[in-house]
Copies of this chain bind each other. A is one copy, B any other.
Amino acid sequence: MKRRSCKYDSLILATGASPVNLPVPGAKELVGKGVHFVSDIENAGALLDAAKSSVKKSAVIVGGGATGLEVAVGLKKLGVDVAVTKRTPHPFPRNLDPTMGKIIVEHLEKLGIRVLFGKGIDRINGTQKVESVKVAEETIECDIVVMAVGMRGNTKLAESIGAKIEKGLVLVNNRMETTVKDVYAVGDLVRTYSRIDGTPITMQLATSAYRQGMTAGINAAGGNTPYPGALNTFLVCVGGLEIASTGYFLDMAKGLGYDAKAVSTRREVKPHYMPGAKEINLRVIVGAKDGKILGAQAVGEQGAGWRINLLALAIHGNMTLYDLMDAELSYNPPISQMYDPISQVAEIGLKRLRLGPKKCDKVFFCK
């Protein structure tokens, strides 16, 4: 394409991110020869073709995030043996506490996927094509390697015009402006901030990108509206298991100086006598003194995503366990419990934190 010059009043950078490759021997050399990425339609299509024509019917996934686990389940369904490796021992360390991560590992193993968490890969072997992968003490024969170790923001253009970069991402303000006048940036290439307290966070999700885009669009066109900050609301469905979270996980909240506690429950999402009643694991991170909701995690075959949506709205509204307790949720046996896991976790939390019942300040009769 020929380069062209375009004048602008306002410029919005939405250059996205590119998949990261690990700096291990063989990784770079074997791209396109068995080393795959999954970040767009084309490379996803190439992986699908490779899986169908695979001779060894064996794949190693590097990375246990949303993409890694979705691909693992997909390949397994296509009849490929799958091992998933990741350097850190727990899945979704930026979203889930280790206790929730355990449930996911058990689920993956039940699906017949080898889980090698806490074990990074040392090298990818092969010359013309991938032959095997060395993981810790083991060499795994395979002809497919999927690199799913995250995305690096495409910040080159922003850098070239002098925009400030922090931790590899473009620094923006709450109007989505970069440090360069009239230049905005949105999506996977920017460092965003928490809606809870303004803490800078990396959140390369469509949900934040979309709202950032709206904000930048309004402001670039002459408006003046803020991006409200991100909650990092996250949902992935892995082999029928919904994994969802929002806000801070326990160690992050503590690390930011919060006197935070976690409260958990495990409860059926419908009355036990209804067919197909599944259990959900729900965990809420709260301030120990006031019961303020700082984060939440849910894992289960049904309703994890929507319970997390509810808790995301509760965080947005500065709500506490008292508000969850008062939340008047709908009840119909084919769909829900009268005493939802959300009500239960609120009650458990208030009791455990010794936060007594809400006080009645003013007594009144309804007319």
Contact = CB atoms under 8 A, between A and B. Distances in A.
Given A309-B310, A313-B327, A360-B224, A235 B336 contact: yes
Interface in A199-240: 199-200, 205-208, 210-211, 218-219, 223-226, 228, 230-231, 233-237
Max count, chain B CB within 10 A of own CB: residue among A172, A336, A362, A366: A366
Interface stretch (A6-14, A76-84, A153-161, A190-198): A190-198
A174 interface: yes
Interface stretch (A85-93, A141-149, A258-266, A316-324): A316-324
A314 B200 CA distance: 27
Contacts of A207: 328-331, 338
B305 A330 contact: yes
A175 interface: yes
Given A230-B328, A328-B195, A174 B317 contact: no
Interface of A: 166, 171-175, 177, 179, 191-193, 195, 198-200, 205-208, 210-211, 218-219, 223-226, 228, 230-231, 233-237, 242, 244, 246, 303, 305-306, 308-310, 312-314, 316-317, 319, 323, 326-332, 334-336, 338-339, 357-367
